[in-house]
Each structure stands twice: as structure tokens, then as C-alpha cells.
Amino acid sequence: MLATFDISNTRIKAGIFDGPELRATFSLAADVRRTADEYAVLLDGLLREERIQRRDVHGIAIASVVPPLTGIFEQVCGRLFRQQALVVGHSTRAGIRIATQQPRELGADRIVNAIAVQHLHGSPAIVVDFETATAFDVVAADGSYAGTIIAPGLALAAEALFQHTSRLQRVELVKPKNVVGRDTIGALLSGTVFGHVALVEGLVSRIKAELGSPAIVVATGELASLVAGETSAIDRVEPWLAHVGLRLFYELNRG
């Protein structure tokens, strides 16, 4: 079995592969104040619930954009699985040509998304990743990573409205009933959700125009289904795309 960890600023998503099959998934809050011991206890409990034996895990791959948590999870993996984790970016092969001006600046999450989408759907392709930020990963027709767009995430935008206004309230992100809000909650939901849909549609259209060819558009991340259900600009939803990329990354680097 292979354990994969996709560490973002807000969530730690863990996956357990049994061969090519993603057997189990877990989601933890990302908190740099937690120790490796605390995370190990949490993860051990989740593995027990899925009846997964720690000794059956013989490989670990980590993609992280939070350096303090990278080190913590390397310790967690050493303690739980007695294995050294393979970390994206630590003198490893990406498996994809990065055609940006500053390849070293590219986040590990961007790399594994690109690896996975090319494997699953070919190229050219656009991955829209709905996490803390909404990021657009662009894979060119020749399979190279062409570049990215980073916009404020859907939940982040909603929280910013709540934090920086005196009368607007925090809302649960669900599909709005109407485009034109009939009350404050309706108005906030429409502006936040449908506004984000419009952002995605507009940027996808501009990316395709710049590529000069059609491209498959794949959504991933926690809020992917919410946005994908409101637009025809997204062709597929792959909630655990990064973990597929991590499995392929591990296989490339460990043979």
C-alpha cells in the first residue's frame, strides 16, 4: 500500500492506495501548532477505522505548500509506517516538463495536479483547483506545464466579506436559490457562488483562446462540485486528483 498526503494551507488530505485503487481517504485540519505526535494519534485512529494495518504501507508520497507541516508529516510517517517519505520537490523528478519562467517557484500541488490530469485525460488540459485559492493549472498540447492563474478562493472570499464588514454575516456555501438575492443571505450567496462561477468561465475562455485549441477542463478540490454544477465550462470533476498525481510521482521516482 501507498500513503499519500496533500498538504494545503487549510486542509491535510490523506489517501491510502492499494495498488492503483484509492482505498481510503481522510481529511484533517492543517494546524502548524499540532505536533507530530498529535497528528500520528489522529491518523492512527483513522487507519484503524478503515481496518488498514500500518505495516502494510510500504511507501509514502507528500505534496506540501506548508513547509512547517512538511517536516511534521515526515516525522509522522517515520513513526507510524517506519518509512521515509518521498517529498515532491526534494531532488525528485516531476515527470512533466515545467515551461514556466521560474520552475523552482511552482508549488508541489500544481505539479501533482498536472501529472494526474495528463495521465487521466491527456493534453491540452486545464485543472481548476478549488482550495484556499482557486488555481488554474494549464497543461499545453505537448504535455508541458505552461503556467498557472491564482485567484482568491471561494471560501476565502466569503470569509473576507464577513471579516471586513459590520453587517454582513457568515454564510454556508451552497447553491443560491436565485441570481438576484431576495435577502442578505441570498445576495451574499449569489455574489459569492455565481460570481466565482463567472470568474471560472471567464478565465477558462481566456486560457483556451491563448492556447489556441480546445482543452479538457477538470475541477478538483473541496468546492469543485458546487461550482461545476453551475457551469458547462467544467468537463469533469476529480475530487482526489492530487492523490492520483502523488501515486504516479511515487512510481516514477521509486521505479
The residues annotated as belonging to the active site are 109
Residue pair 158/188 in contact by the 8 Å Cβ criterion: yes
Q: Which of 30, 39, 36, 40 is nearest to 63 (CA)?
A: 30
Q: Which three cell numbers stand for residue 220?
A: 478538483
What stretches of 19-152 adopt beta strand conformation (E)? 21-29, 59-64, 86-87, 125-130, 133-139, 145-152
For residue 206, give Cα distances in angstroms to 62, 85, 121, 135, 215. Answer: 32, 39, 21, 14, 12
Distance CA 139, CA 171 (A): 35
Distance CA 160, CA 208 (A): 30
Distance CA 147, CA 31 (A): 29
Distance CA 194, CA 41 (A): 40
